[in-house]
Structures are given as C-alpha cells and as structure tokens.
Structure 1
Amino acid sequence: MKVFFVVDIKSGKVVAGKGGERESYPPITAISRLVSSDDALKVIEEIKPRFLYAADLDRIVGLGDNFSLLSKLSKRVEELIADCGFRSPEELEKLPFTPVVGTETFDITQLDRKCYVSLDFKEKFLDASGKFESWEEVVKFLNSFDLYGLIVLPIHAVGAMKPDLSVLTKTLELSEHPVMLGGGISGVEDLERLKEMGCSGVLVATAVHKGKIPLDVVRKGKF
C-alpha cells in the first residue's frame, strides 16, 4: 500500500488541515512534533517523504496559486500529486506533477485525460457538475475512464484522527480503479486495517506530525 505524505499549502506555508475549515487552519508548527518551520520546502526537507500529496488551498478557493512552489516540491520527491482546485481540462496540461481532480471544483463529465479523481465529501458529496444523483453514480461513471486511481476524501475527517470509512467500503466494491483514502487516519492500526480492506494507498499528515505513524513509513512510501 502506497503512503503519501500530505501538505496543505496556503500562501507558501504548510498549514494543519482540520475539518475543512480552511480559513482557520493553523500553521503546521502549531501541531507538529517533527518540523521546525512552516515553509513548505523546509517541511519536506525535514520529513523527507518518498511520495507527496499537496493541496493548493489558495487555488482551491480562488485566491491565487502556489504553482512555482509545487514545481520546486516536485523535484524533491519521487512523486508529487496535487489538487489545485482545477476547474477545466485545459488546466491539467503541462504540469510538473500528477493532477488530482476534485469533484468539489471540477465537472468530471468534462474529464478528458488520465489523472487522479478525488471524491470530495463534507458531510455530503460535493459535486461541482451537479449532474449526478449520488456519489455511487460518479464511481460507476468513472469506471469507463483511464485513471491513476480514486481518492476518497471526507474533508470533515481531515485532522480528526478518526477515519470515516463509510464511503470507502462501498467505493472499493464499485470501483474498477485503485482506491486511496485521505483524512482522519490516526495511526499504524488504521494503516493495517486499510491495507486489509484493499486500499491501494493512503494520505497521511496529522498522525505523522503527532508521532502516531513513524517517519520511516512515509520515507519508504510503502506499508
């Protein structure tokens, strides 16, 4: 199972995501036992992850972007995948990282290239397309696409140290793609459970910063 270390980036700094309340995310040093700086490049220098998932919070909410920083980060890890609040297929061209298309901002009926798709939830399914009756329909619809995989992202669980597995179980049943989970992973026991369930990967941050998942796990990038 692949392990992606997560950075939520706001104005070039890493912040600690919790519950999707993006405007009030504190700097990562407020919760981390491991890093001495909020600067994204320094965080990666100290954590040294093999695989990295980045959320460009500025671009997701439409207040600028961190593309130049993401380009630098891509050179410091083996693989960078990033959700930048993409809203059109044209935005997915010539990127120095693998795009993550989130249903919160992107009309997935317009998808025309290989990427990751993030199924975004905040208590309810976030569907920018407005064209689906349910998230289950979205999973079935995406089975006809060539994708790197799906990411089940219950935003309300981010930083909560308690994973929401309700959608994940059904997604694993319905999807013909590899499925990863992000948000709420609390420690090694959760990693073991997710691996047994058949997850292809996980996104972790808070549990690493709090010492619940050993640094060695994100440095290897495998569990």
Structure 2
Amino acid sequence: MAGFELIPVIDLMGGMVVHARAGERDAYRPLAHSVLTTSPEPAAVIRGLLDLHPFRTLYIADLDAIRKQGDHKALIRELKVLFPDLRFWVDAGFAGECTCRRFLAAGLGDLVLGSESQSDLRLLEILRDEPGLVLSLDFMGDRPLGVPALFDTPELWPERVIVMTLARVGVGAGPDLERLRAVRARAPGKRIYAAGGVRGTEDLANLRALGCEGVLLASALHDGRLGRAELASAQGGTTECQS
C-alpha cells in the first residue's frame, strides 16, 4: 500500500464544531480545548488543522442532518469556497436518492453513505458504482447500526469503506483492530479506513500494518498527541497489506 491517508474530522452541530465522544450526540458540546484553535467556528478549526499538516481530505459529519434536526448545507458550501483544494467527505444522514444526486451534482465532495441512516439496501444498490461514494459501516459497541443486510453483502460495497466504531470516538480506547481485520477479510479488494479510538503513533502504525488505506482523526489532533512530526512520519513510506 502506497502511503497512508490521514483524514481529520469535524463534527458540525448548531453551526459549530463539537467535541464528539462515544457517540453520545445529545451530550456533544462546542470544541473548547484544542492546541490548534481557540474557536469552535468551522473555518477556524479547518485553518488550524491545515496549519498543522497539509491534509488533502476532510471528513465532515453534519450531525444536525444525521439527527434530522436541520442541516449545514449552506455552511458546507461556504467552506468549500474558502478551502477549494480540500476534498470533503460528507456524511449528512443521506437516505434518499434525490438528495444524494443533488449533493453529488453540486461538486461539494464525496458522499458518505452511513449505514446508520439506511433502512434497506436500495440506496447502496443504486449508488454503488458512483465514483464519489464512500460507505460507512457504523457500529455502537458490538451492534451494527442500520439494516443488517448491508453488513452482510460486501459485494455491494463501493471501493472505499469506513469502519466507524462510535463508542471509541473521543475516549482514547484505541481502534477496533479485531473488527477492522474481520472487515478486511470479508472484502479484501476494498480500501478500508479506520475511524474511532486513535490515541497516537502506535495506533497509526498498527492500522498501517493491518492494511488500512487511511484513518479518520480528531481528538488526538486537538489534544496534541499527534503533532507535525508524528503526522509527517505516519504518512510517509509504504507498507504491505496483511490479512
């Protein structure tokens, strides 16, 4: 595997970046403690991230849209104007074909289809060949979120698949290597991205050795555990995929 993609995450709620923790969204609060910025305003957070490292991709979770309590469509458009060279991966609780088609046509970024927002396989079957599609397999503890059949049909999965372990987000529990290994074994031809639990360089090394294509990061960036040197080291070089 050439390279290893580091993808910072911003979670949007009420127009601000919030600190995600263990998937307990009702308890999320605006980002208050970060070595990168003193503001939870999205543009300020993104500037802080880009000052830290030349990230190429940004994952945006529109939590208002995912919870069906509004959305950040206008804000995401504004951010794309401010940061035109940054590729966005956007999870906005996509659950309808027309909404997905409009998003893809707008050129705002890649569409993250979260399993937690799906009630059947229809959208995945329709969109599976879209080059801008990313599938997120969402888990809360040992429980898969969304229609069970989605997790059992790897032949329908697009090229890029996120394994999202929500209970490990923001709590320093470490990535779920066992689950990532199981997903890779079921879909060896897919590009797998880890999300949730990364604490530092050792976790990044373990994910690379496992054969992951990349990782989503948040807490370890804001608390300084992953700084410039650690990120530069983690992204360079090559490693072999292992099952």
TM over 0.5, shorter chain? yes
Name 1:36's counterpart in structure 2: 38
Aligned residues: 215
**Does the aligned pair in 2 maintain the 1:155–1:183 contact within 8 Å?**
yes
Name 2:93's counterpart in structure 1: 85
Q: Which amino acid aligns with 1:208?
A: L
Shift of 1:107: 3.7
Structure 1 residue runs of 4 or more that deviate by more than 3 Å after TM superposition: 124-127, 215-223
The yes-or-no answer on 1:52 pairing with 2:65 is: no
**Does the aligned pair in 2 maintain the 1:50–1:218 contact within 8 Å?**
no
Residue identity over aligned pairs, in percent, reads 29
Aligned partners of 1:54 and 1:43: how far apart in 2?
A: 12
Name 2:140's counterpart in structure 1: 122
Name 2:75's counterpart in structure 1: 69
Aligned partners of 1:155 and 1:5: how far apart in 2?
A: 16
Name 1:158's counterpart in structure 2: 169
**Does the aligned pair in 2 maintain the 1:51–1:218 contact within 8 Å?**
no
For 2:205, what is the secondary structure of its paired residue? helix
Shift of 1:90: 2.1
Aligned partners of 1:219 and 1:93: how far apart in 2?
A: 36
**Does the aligned pair in 2 maintain the 1:59–1:85 contact within 8 Å?**
yes
Aligned partners of 1:201 and 1:67: how far apart in 2?
A: 26
Aligned partners of 2:136 and 2:170: how far apart in 1?
A: 17
Name 1:16's counterpart in structure 2: 19
Aligned partners of 2:120 and 2:136: how far apart in 1?
A: 10
Q: TM-score, normalised by structure 2?
A: 0.81
RMSD: 2.1
What 5-or-longer segments of structure 1 have no aligned partner?
none
Aligned partners of 1:174 and 1:17: how far apart in 2?
A: 29
Tell me: CA distance 1:74–1:153, structure 2 relative to 1, closer, same or farther (3 Å): same
Q: TM-score, normalised by structure 1?
A: 0.88
Aligned partners of 2:29 and 2:219: how far apart in 1?
A: 12
For 1:104, what is the secondary structure of its paired residue? helix
